[in-house]
Amino acid sequence: MKTKKYAAIDIGSNAMRLLINNVIEAEDKVYFKKVAITRVPIRLGTEAFVNKKISDANIKRMLYAMKAYANLMKVHDVEKYRACATSAMRDAKNGAEIIAKIKAETDIEIEIISGEEEAEIIFATHIEKLINKPLNFLYLDVGGGSAECTLFSNGEIVTSKSFNIGTIRLLNNLVTELHWKEMRNWLKDVTKDKKINLIGSGGNINKVFKLSRKAANEALSLGYIENYLEELKKYSYEERVLKLDLNLDRADVIIPALTIFTSVMKWTNAQDIYVPKIGLADGIIKTLLYANA
């Protein structure tokens, strides 16, 4: 049995995450065991999408977080890591400057990846193997800044596209009818004459799935998500925090997130969505392994 320890840093629009995994190779199989996951809710998207720049205050918070991540990786004896930044850093005019500053102070190198690269990394998780059904699946990852859509069949990517429709953009009224129309038309075109089921990822759909108390291999129906969304809309932000026990940085974005999921399900005529609780950080770990293969 051979073991390695890899880490992934995901700098998203709503939060920054550090995932540390044991990668165990035994009997011609590879096992991934989560050692630690740390999430810091620095909402970079609000500034990046509205002002096109991340403030000095949030740059300082990012540096504190990245220094902590660097130390945690040392404590865990991480052999290799990869750090990726997504939609917020793509939009921020001072993104390159921030990356240089973080590199100088923490020695952590960060890549700003495109939406298409983001989809490819997520696909590296081999999500199709988690659903043992001979169907076409649309993978939908909903973040703060964008929605990544990947259609796959028989274990191969058919097509993928990134749309600037995310929860933080919706909260700040930055998504126009043209954005929705582009996404709707693309989805209808690529899924035409196909029976589609969805695979969903992102903190919001993960939260809904957890609250549903369903088994890991069960799906959520469109009806279930629609009903839950309508129930959420009855409560104010404060009530969603105090009465529904949602985190402060979850209580506002969960409604726009579920709006995206239900819209996509309707446009693709998908009745069910599987939620295997995987995402960009998991994919980054897999790319590290494959890069060494």
**Do the domains at 2-115+281-292 and 126-277 have one common CATH topology?**
yes
Find the mean pLDDT for residues 92-114: 96
User: What is the per-residue pLDDT for 1?
Assistant: 85
Single out the residue of 121, 156, 152, 157 nearest to residue 289, CA to CA. Answer: 121
pLDDT at residue 131 in the model:
54
Q: What is the pLDDT of residue 30?
A: 87
Each residue of 258-270: pLDDT tens digit? 999 999 999 999 9
Q: What is the pLDDT of residue 290?
A: 79
**What is the mean predicted confidence (pLDDT) over 131-155?**
82
pTM: 0.89
Amino acid identity of residue 2, one-letter, is K
Q: Where do the domains of the chain lie?
A: 2-115+281-292, 126-277
CA-CA distances (angstroms) from residue 8 to 37, 77, 98? 9, 14, 19
pLDDT at 19 over 60: yes
Q: The tokens 């540096």 sit on which residue?
A: 63
pLDDT class for 64, splitting at 50, 70, 90? very high
Task: Please state, in angstroms and rounded to a whole number, the distance separating the CA atoms of residues 197 and 135.
Answer: 7
pLDDT of residue 293: 54
Asked if pLDDT for residue 128 goes beyond 60, the answer is no
Contact between 198 and 264 under an 8 Å Cβ cutoff? The reply is: yes
Report pLDDT for 231.
96
Q: Which fold has domain 2-115+281-292?
A: Nucleotidyltransferase; domain 5 (3.30.420)
For residue 99, the model assigns a pLDDT of: 96
Please measure the distance between the N-terminal and C-terminal CA atoms of the chain and give it in whole angstroms: 16
| Architecture, CATH, for domain 126-277 | 2-Layer Sandwich (3.30)
**pLDDT tens digits, 198-255:** 999 899 999 999 999 999 889 999 999 999 999 999 999 999 999 999 999 999 999 9
What is the rounded distance in angstroms from the CA atom of residue 207 to the CA atom of residue 246?
Answer: 9
pLDDT at position 130 is 57
Q: Tell me what pLDDT residue 127 has.
A: 64
Strands 196-201 and 272-274: parallel
Mean pLDDT score, 272-289: 89
Mean pLDDT of 284-291: 87
pLDDT of 10 over the 70 cut: yes
